[in-house]
Amino acid sequence: MAKLIDGRAIAKKVYVDLRREIGELKARGVTPGLAVVLVGDNPASRAYVRSKDKMCRELGLHSVKLELPASTTQKELLERVKELNRNSSVHGILIQSPPPEHIDEAAIVRALDPRKDVDGFHPENVAKLVLDDASGFVPCTPLGVQRLLTESKIEINGAHVVVLGRSMIVGKPLALLLMQKNRNGNATVTVVHSRSRDLAEITRSADIIVAAIGRAEFVKADHVREGAVVIDVGINRVEDAASERGYRLVGDVAFDEVSKKASAITPVPGGVGPMTIAMLMANTLKAARQ
């Protein structure tokens, strides 16, 4: 049976370090500030924004929560972004995704000051990741995955990592991060996706599998070789009449069958999720420092 990689416990460890570093910055007269902008009232987004705001307050960060109506225009949102770019008490800005359909998300991201883009999606930060420039910001979920592996003493150096999914949020930046020439990188990375041929054959060759394909319980036991490490980034709602809420949350990995073959695995919830918020806080601290 696989060892459980506890994201909540590792996130707590990260917060201990962050509290100390935030205290040191505050002693020098700098309080790191994070602004989170939510457009519309998507319930999942609202819950995320609440948890981010709560964590900011617990760590003693300056927190700005902007909740704008779904009717907010592109022009109005761009104005708000410009105000936050100019606000010296805000070091990090995050636009909660996805915005309403009439908003051009890519244009909003490009309007962010790249030095405040703690989500790591601005073209300048993407370029810095490609160039191994440590001054840039790496998207929070890939950073969280890397931290889970290093804190769990799982060898990345020289390992074959197969990433399922090629999104700009997880798959692509994670591949770049784990390929970097440093002690938390040096992996051989293969990226597979819905159009990949012989997908199970490729995933079976992996030492580490990262599932971020957005399909409930897609990765089955026959995708995984005995003793592999499995990191499940997915979070999907599946109907469940037996549950009080009428649904349950599952990952992209069929946990029950895969955990019998893997040497270590992340649960959903409680695996990658808590680390994403922890890395957002770490990026905000880095932005304040820089």
Asked which of 125-129, 205-209, 238-242 is least confident by mean pLDDT, the reply is 238-242
Mean pLDDT computed over 151-176: 98
* Residues identified as active-site: 52, 96, 119
- Res 39: pLDDT: 97
Please report which confidence band the pLDDT of residue 44 belongs to, taking 50, 70 and 90 as the band edges. Answer: confident
Mean pLDDT computed over 212-220: 97
Beta strands 33-39; 62-68: pairing state: parallel
Asked if the model's pLDDT at residue 102 lies above 90, the reply is yes
Sign of CA dihedral 6, 9, 14, 17: negative
Please report which confidence band the pLDDT of residue 151 belongs to, taking 50, 70 and 90 as the band edges. Answer: very high
Which string of DSSP letters, residue by residue, matches the chain? -PEE--HHHHHHHHHHHHHHHHHHHHHTT---EEEEEEES--HHHHHHHHHHHHHHHHHT-EEEEEEE-TT--HHHHHHHHHHHHH-TT--EEEEPSSPPTTS-HHHHHHHS-GGGBTT--SHHHHHHHHTT-TTS---HHHHHHHHHHHHTT---TT-EEEEE---TTTHHHHHHHHHSSSTT---EEEEE-TT-TTHHHHHTT-SEEEE-S--TT-B-GGGS-TT-EEEE---EEEE-TTSTTSEEEE-SB-HHHHTTT-SEE--SSSSHHHHHHHHHHHHHHHHHH-
Are 253 and 236 spatial neighbours (Cβ–Cβ below 8 Å)? no
- Res 43: pLDDT: 87
